[in-house]
Structure 1
Amino acid sequence: MKKIEGKVARQIHFVNFAAMMPIWIFVGFIAGAALGIWLENWVVFWVGLVGSPLVFNYMVSSKRINNINAAYQYMSGAVTGKLKNADYYNTGEYGAIAVDAKNKEVSVISADQKFKFKEPFVFNSEKIRNYKSYAPGYSTWDSVGRTDAMTQNDMLNKNLKAKAKAHAESGLYIDLDDVSKPQIFVQMEYSEAEKWLLIFEKLLNGTLESQPTPMLFPQAQ
């Protein structure tokens, strides 16, 4: 099962700190001033000014990491549990998929960015009309000449939001012969969606091998 930890977790802490820097500067100033005045010690002021943003950022970004890891666990269990024999599965932050090679069934689930989950949906591979991997492009902001810190932070936030939106829309798009659900979207990394095209190819032509237990695909490197 996927889990955010190590290098990826540190990247999330850093990106969150950079994106919320104006807020953390304000929080640090207030916390440092309050502690400095209360304890009548300017050394404490500087400790609060620098330390409190780091602590609060760690708490906020850790909560997001925990939410993502909980989503991984819940969605992987939800999609594999809906199939008689789940052979392969994958989870993104906002979606998951599993396939049953023997019965040619597919189970999917999705979530919004607040991690509110929809009910899993199961369909037979015979209903698949088309499928593709897709990652939308996005524009980035850059400065010309010298700019102040606030302008740079504003551009950073715009770039991070554009990247996050593209990430949330990247994954597998599956067209179905189903009036109630003509298209299914499964969010995952584009590189992983590209590899899942092979799973669908083999599932549809009957050459997908069964597994003794559900296997995360592609395997984590």
Structure 2
Amino acid sequence: MSRLHQLLGLIVVVCIAAVVIITVVYRVVQPPVPIDDRVRACYAVIPADRQAGLHLDYKPGTNTATLAVEAEEMHKSPTKEQLDTFIQCLHVFIKDVRLATASQPVAPLGEVADHWSASGQVGLKLTLMPGSNNEVLNNLRFGPASGNKSDIVAAWCKGTTACVKCDPPEPTSQTLEVLVTLLPGGHTKKVQMAGSWEAPKQAKPWQLVDRKGRRFFYECEPAS
């Protein structure tokens, strides 16, 4: 082999190596960005420091997207208002936005039901059936939990069988709605929530806040 051929071969090898190195460095250094300008615009509604744990699986030109919200520290995750706005933005050009996972902090059951039924939310809904003590039902402790909504609800229903009845009792990813009824005779205890709260002018059924700024929910106690 002539020196010219050897030189040309060396140049080709060096070029290939350079391309590989540049590609690796680019992928490591550059953060992943949405390849669709519309998706990028939707991400803009959430502050950059609040996007931790938010992952969207979407192929441009399709009508389906899957959104995963991993459990993260609360100061890093998007607020529920920001998440709702993000999903509403996606719905402008994506018909089916599926919520693969949810990160649910501890909250009264009624608040979770209202949040999951809000405009822009997708996936399973919770419906609270009126009964003899709606205060307890609306303020039963729910969460913290992370994962598929159906798995979260199934685990919660299983852990509160002494106090509530869920229909269906074991929801799946195909379940659209779970009806929750407070069982008569169930034992619950009133527990103060952490933090200080401002008493709302028009309290919702799941807002038990007294004049001292203390907020409460009920915990289901297993049958003895």
The TM tier, using the shorter chain, reads: under 0.3
Structure 2 length-normalised TM:
0.25
Instruction: Find the structure with the greater CA-based Rg.
Output: 2
Structure 1 or 2: larger strand share? 2
- Identify which of structures 1 and 2 has the higher relative contact order when contacts are C-alpha pairs closer than 8 Å and 6+ apart: 1
Structure 1 or 2: larger helix share? 1
Structure 1 length-normalised TM:
0.26
